[in-house]
Amino acid sequence: MLAKHSADILIIDGFRSVRDSSPTTIGLSEFMLSLNSLVSSLECTTFLLSPTEGNVADSENTLVDGLIELSQHEKGMQLIREIKVFKIRGGKHLLGRHVFEVGQNGIVVYPRLEAISTASRTIDDASDALVSFGIPDWDTITRGGVNKGSVTELLGNPGVGKTLMGLHFIYEGLQRGEQCLIVGFYESPLRLIAKAHSVNIDLASFIDSGQLQIIWNPPLEISVDALAHQVLEDISGRKVSRLFVDGMDGLLDIIIHVGRARSFLTAFVNELRCCQVTSFFTRELPYFGSKLPENCDSGPSSILYENIMLLQYVEISGVNHRQIAVLKLRQNGYDSANHIMLISDKGVSIGRSVSTEKLAQEIIKNNAIKNEP
Amino acid sequence: MKEDVITSAPDDAPVILIVDDEPDITTTYAMLFEYHGFRVITAYDGKNALKVIDELVPDIIISDYMMPLMNGAELCTTIKKDPRWEAIPFILQSAAFHAKDINAPYDLLLQKPVTFNVLLTEVIRLTAHKLC
């Protein structure tokens, strides 16, 4: 058949039967050598499909030019497909497991971002140019915004206005003619557009023109590798300069491999920096207190983010106020005071700095209440 | 499906002598050349090839270069010096050569790896007179 049809590809499905039918290892090796000789003479690329798992020392594993394992990874009720290359003779393949999906267009493999990032070792071009948030007083506090190509994290309590800050950041870019991308996990595009509209930010026209894309997925059974691939492809394809990820908690929720979050995020933000995308991530604090939730990656955020901002509710004289502050900014010289943040139908504005004396009085008062018998 | 089964070539079909110390190579080439209508005899080194040739003179010889006892270049030189066999086309194939053997009197030198289609084309060309 091979000689008659001049086949370019031969697939032997169920190679286990061939292995089982050979009484000795030598017999199987002889078969493999003959097969090798035949298909190489005919330039016929051959795939042996076998249910064997792992790089075991079977003769077929030794004699083949490439060894690829397809497997499944299970976490709770969730199951994903994975591919691992044990060997490709003469090739420098990416080590480790990678996710693949089976869809209408066949198999799509998503090389693990950490492996790609390590292999490419691209160095980002640190820029001194500043990127404005489009909130005048906030730009004053940050002395012009954040560095171009930097990654910013905004920590904040639920409902405190993190998304609105992000929308301002994106809207400013859109008005400057930049290509922008929003990656969301909670508010659907329609809700986000409506929310923006309520504070006089018109996103719809920019979506229509293609200047703004929204990638939205509820943080359920979606592949973080597929999402990262989609995001980076859009950034590369449209030359996106501003990215708003709302929020980091959703991204962490879909990283199903235990212990992978930190390395994945390191690779992801590295890719963003290399693309010179100024990125803005929101991260949710609990309703009460400022401790990060359990799903967070361990270790300090400062490794991932050049800039960290904190937005939280503070009680002053019995009234909850929004208070925003810069915790860290790559360039020096920012205003480190806590400031009141106001939200109106015109969007976010920054008010007066919160009086230190007033805050101290509140802290003393709160401590006194807590210490009452 | 019967047509896919390799059958014995007719008695007047050209004879190919395949000389290689790797049995997988000789087996594969034998199978494929027989499928294409040739008769095939095999030998596993140069000395063995000279014995085989004594019994049945082939129409063409395909030999590997690196073999024990007598390599392909030495075999080629021996055959081409013998008036009985000097007219037999000789294809020598190898991955690498010693400088001293580069001028062996072969008809065709092929660099390994050689695909079967290339080899088949050359064999047909060199045995065209027999096929006619």
pLDDT attached to residue B6: 43
Contact A34 B22 (CB under 8 A): no
Asked if the model's pLDDT at residue B100 lies above 60, the reply is yes
For residue A338, which phi and psi values (nearest 5 degrees)?
-75, 135
Listed residue (B110, B120, B38) closest to B72, CA to CA: B110
> Side chain identity at A341, as an amino acid letter?
M
Three-class secondary structure of residue A178 per DSSP:
coil
User: Exposed (0-12), middle (13-18) or buried (19+): which is A242, by Cβ within 10 Å?
Assistant: buried
Task: Please tell me the class of the B2-6+13-131 domain.
Answer: alpha beta
Q: Where are the domains of chain B?
A: 2-6+13-131
pLDDT attached to residue A8: 92
pLDDT attached to residue A82: 94
Can you tell me the distance from the alpha carbon of B25 to that of A37, in angstroms, rounded to the nearest whole number? 6
Can you tell me the distance from the alpha carbon of A18 to that of B13, in angstroms, rounded to the nearest whole number? 35
pLDDT attached to residue A5: 79
Q: How confident is the model at residue B4 (pLDDT cuts 50, 70, 90)?
A: very low
Beta bridge partners, A121, equal none
Can you tell me the distance from the alpha carbon of A148 to that of A151, in angstroms, rounded to the nearest whole number? 9
Q: How confident is the model at residue A301 (pLDDT cuts 50, 70, 90)?
A: low
Listed residue (A196, A295, A210, A281) closest to A246, CA to CA: A281
Higher pLDDT, A106 or A26: A106
Residues of B in contact with A38 (CB under 8 A): 28, 31-32
Digit-coded pLDDT (tens) for A155-175:
998 989 999 999 999 999 999
Q: Concatenated DSSP letters for A245-262?
A: EE-HHHHHHT--STT-HH
Count Cβ atoms below 10 Å from residue B86 Cβ, excluding itself: 11
pLDDT attached to residue B5: 41
Q: Which of A1, A6, A37 lies nearest to residue B25, judging by beta carbons?
A: A37
Look at A83-87, A318-322, A337-341, B41-45 and tell me which has the smallest mean pLDDT.
A318-322
Q: How confident is the model at residue A15 (pLDDT cuts 50, 70, 90)?
A: confident
Asked if the model's pLDDT at residue A239 lies above 80, the reply is yes
Q: Concatenated DSSP letters for B57-90?
A: --SEEEEES--SSS-HHHHHHHHHHSTTTTTS-E
Mean pLDDT, chain B, as a whole number?
88
Share in percent of chain A as helix, strand, coil (round to 5): 35, 30, 35
Q: How confident is the model at residue B122 (pLDDT cuts 50, 70, 90)?
A: very high
Q: How confident is the model at residue B3 (pLDDT cuts 50, 70, 90)?
A: very low
Q: How confident is the model at residue A326 (pLDDT cuts 50, 70, 90)?
A: very high
Contact A42 B116 (CB under 8 A): yes
Q: How far is CA B109 from CA A75, B81, B119, in A?
A: 59, 18, 11
Q: How far is CA A261 from CA A216, A255, A273, B102, in A?
A: 20, 6, 18, 61
Rounded to the nearest angstrom, the minimum Cα separation between A69 and chain B is 28
Q: Which of B25, B32, B113 lies nearest to residue A3, judging by beta carbons?
A: B32
Residues of B in contact with A32 (CB under 8 A): none
pLDDT attached to residue A211: 97
What are the residues of chain A with a beta carbon less than 8 Å away from any beta carbon of chain B? 1, 3-4, 6, 33-34, 36-38, 40-43
Listed residue (B65, B44, B60, B59) closest to B111, CA to CA: B65
Higher pLDDT, A232 or A286: A232
Q: How confident is the model at residue B98 (pLDDT cuts 50, 70, 90)?
A: confident
Count Cβ atoms below 10 Å from residue A250 Cβ, excluding itself: 23
pLDDT attached to residue B21: 93
Beta bridge partners, A87, equal A67
Contact B28 A34 (CB under 8 A): yes
Three-class secondary structure of residue A267 per DSSP:
helix
With a CB cutoff of 8 Å and minimum separation 6, the contacts of A119 are A94
Look at A42-46, A115-119, A261-265, A275-279 and tell me which has the smallest mean pLDDT.
A115-119
**DSSP code at position A53:** -
**Section A15-24 average pLDDT:** 77
Asked if the model's pLDDT at residue A51 lies above 90, the reply is no
Listed residue (A286, A268, A248) closest to A163, CA to CA: A248
Q: Concatenated DSSP letters for B16-61?
A: EEEE-S-HHHHHHHHHHHHHTT-EEEEESSHHHHHHHHHHS--SEE
Higher pLDDT, A297 or A143: A143
pLDDT attached to residue B75: 95
CB B126 within 8 A of CB B108: yes
Asked if the model's pLDDT at residue A317 lies above 80, the reply is no
The CATH H-level (homologous superfamily) assignment of domain A130-370 is P-loop containing nucleotide triphosphate hydrolases (3.40.50.300)
Asked if the model's pLDDT at residue A254 lies above 60, the reply is yes
CB A182 within 8 A of CB A246: yes
Q: Which of B3, B4, B32 lies nearest to residue A41, judging by beta carbons?
A: B32
Across the A/B interface, how many CB contacts are shorter than 8 Å? 36
Digit-coded pLDDT (tens) for B49-85:
999 999 999 999 999 999 998 999 999 999 999 999 9
**DSSP code at position A38:** H
Q: How confident is the model at residue B2 (pLDDT cuts 50, 70, 90)?
A: very low
Listed residue (A30, A11, A33) closest to A22, CA to CA: A30
Three-class secondary structure of residue A199 per DSSP:
coil
pLDDT attached to residue A54: 65
**Section A70-77 average pLDDT:** 89
Task: Please tell me the class of the A2-114 domain.
Answer: alpha beta
**Section A40-60 average pLDDT:** 81
Q: Where are the domains of chain A?
A: 2-114, 130-370
β-strands A339-344, A347-353: how paired?
antiparallel
Query: Position of tokens 């976010």?
Result: A348
Asked if the model's pLDDT at residue B38 lies above 90, the reply is yes
Higher pLDDT, B111 or A358: B111
For residue A233, which phi and psi values (nearest 5 degrees)?
-65, -40
Question: How would you label B12-48 residue by residue, b for 16+ Cβ within 10 Å and e otherwise?
Answer: ebbbbbbbbbeebbbbbbbbbbbbeebbbbbbbbbbb
Q: How confident is the model at residue B113 (pLDDT cuts 50, 70, 90)?
A: confident
pLDDT attached to residue B132: 61
pLDDT attached to residue A363: 60
Higher pLDDT, A335 or A98: A98
pLDDT attached to residue A271: 92
Count Cβ atoms below 10 Å from residue A321 Cβ, excluding itself: 16
**Section A346-367 average pLDDT:** 71
Angle among Cα B58, B117, B91 to the nearest 5 degrees reads 35
User: Percent of chain A scored above 90 by pLDDT?
Assistant: 47
